[in-house]
Structure 1
């Protein structure tokens, strides 16, 4: 194999690996389009998408979902608690609850998670109102 063929082969291999990484990230984090009304940051969106797509999320799993694809060192595990606290505050008015399994991680009740998934999978998102205006679910 000459240099040109080797370069072509490596580029093809690289493209395959990049596509596989995207598939794995989608499986881990999910591709949920969240309503703008929630006013979530990029990291909050990633965390919420992961919570919606999983029955239970450990703190380690949250760190992987939030930071591992960025090629940076991970922050302390406590940052997950901070993001969950911020998410809870922002989603409170929309009647969305994130629960804690102390010392292990976080989850959204199965019934509520399924309702959220169904709502978010609609092609045409209807406005999601806060509990002050009416219930989300």
Structure 2
């Protein structure tokens, strides 16, 4: 049985954020709904195949989120890197540049990624690129994590996987 909030703005937002790894407790507090309701929405999305994994119940006690870089990101032009990303993952040049930023800095703010990847476009394009990259890298178990309200990060394991798949060294 579908949850009453599924298909609403709140329900769709909860599913999208759960897919990005935001814990259920954080979703419950953010949208001011009972934990059981948030859990039901996410569980139904998992059963429907909309999301792949159930997120954590809540942030670990005492956890600190990674802080994204605030230093300007400068990328060297690397046609070989762009070609490797296209061959390995089917990434566009802009998606490859965003991935290159995350490989280099590991955690980046949206404004910094926007300045490097597509300064002529609307800032929301960064979120669109991340969504597309996640879809293309999901089958390789590569994760791009959301740093809530700030930007994106790539963990060491995902970084190693990407570099190995495109034949680069750390």
> What TM-score does the superposition give when structure 1 sets the normalisation length?
0.57
| Cα distance in 2 for residues equivalent to 1:100 and 1:37 | 23
| Cα distance in 2 for residues equivalent to 1:49 and 1:58 | 14
State the match for 1:36 in structure 2: 87
CA RMSD across the alignment: 2.6
State the match for 2:162 in structure 1: 116
Instruction: Provide structure 2 residue ranges, at least 5 long, that are not aligned to the other structure.
Output: 1-73
State the match for 1:64 in structure 2: 115
Q: Cα–Cα, structure 1 residues 82 and 35, in superposed 2: closer, same or farther, change >3 Å?
A: closer
| 1:30/1:49 contact within 8 Å kept | no
| Cα distance in 1 for residues equivalent to 2:136 and 2:109 | 21
Q: Which has the higher contact order (CA 8 A, sep 6+)?
A: 1
Superposed, 1:1-40 pairs within 5 Å as 24-26=74-76, 32=81, 33-34=84-85, 36-40=87-91
Q: CA deviation at 1:35?
A: 5.4
Asked if 1:54 corresponds to 2:105, the answer is yes
Q: Cα–Cα, structure 1 residues 38 and 52, in superposed 2: closer, same or farther, change >3 Å?
A: same
Please give the per-residue CA displacement for 1:12-59, whole angstroms capped at 9, x wherever unaligned: xxxxxxxxxxxx5319x8973425131111111111111111121111
Q: Cα–Cα, structure 1 residues 80 and 98, in superposed 2: closer, same or farther, change >3 Å?
A: same
- Write out the 4+ residue segments of structure 1 that deviate beyond 6 Å after TM superposition: none
| Cα distance in 2 for residues equivalent to 1:58 and 1:43 | 16
| Cα distance in 1 for residues equivalent to 2:130 and 2:164 | 22
- Report which of the two structures shows the higher radius of gyration computed on alpha carbons: 1
| Cα distance in 2 for residues equivalent to 1:30 and 1:55 | 21
